Structure 1
């Protein structure tokens, strides 16, 4: 929720011409936040269904992909079947960027 409130991903995507859709207040309160709490409580499998439901709702509203922009959300989504649309895992993206950066530093 903090990353969403900071508009971290929205700002970067909007600068590149993308329109961003985000979960509404009810989706956050009823599904996303409780799912994050489940991941934090090591009940990861229980987080999948509500997170997948919100991702599907975003796609139904016109999203072309879903950014899993929180530490816990990718873990919850990974606990179930792959979603049938593009999903960007922020943890994965950060790790890949760090590896590329470290490789570049080592080469310099």
Structure 2
């Protein structure tokens, strides 16, 4: 028999999750409309907030230039394997898929609470 307290917790959790999902969808839609307007040169401000666009950037080091500057040992030291690229190479037949699968190490990152809808 299910603990009534846990049932109440699950009901509240599901309600909050559904509410948040709806709010996030609305936020995303409003954000898209605001971004489009700002990209068109519009400006918008309230008493509390001013909307502006900022560009996020990432820094990458070109492999060949990094290798020229720092050598093979340093390049190998900082290199990472791109799982998606490796999977594409295996799919294309450039890498042995079985060997790649046997090489894989799964590391847990986080546990998620997943709700599955129950039919009444």
Pick the TM interval, shorter chain: under 0.3
Which of 1 and 2 has greater Rg? 2
Flag the structure with more relative contact order, 1 or 2, with Cα contacts below 8 A and sequence separation at least 6. Answer: 1
TM-score (norm 2): 0.20
TM-score (norm 1): 0.21
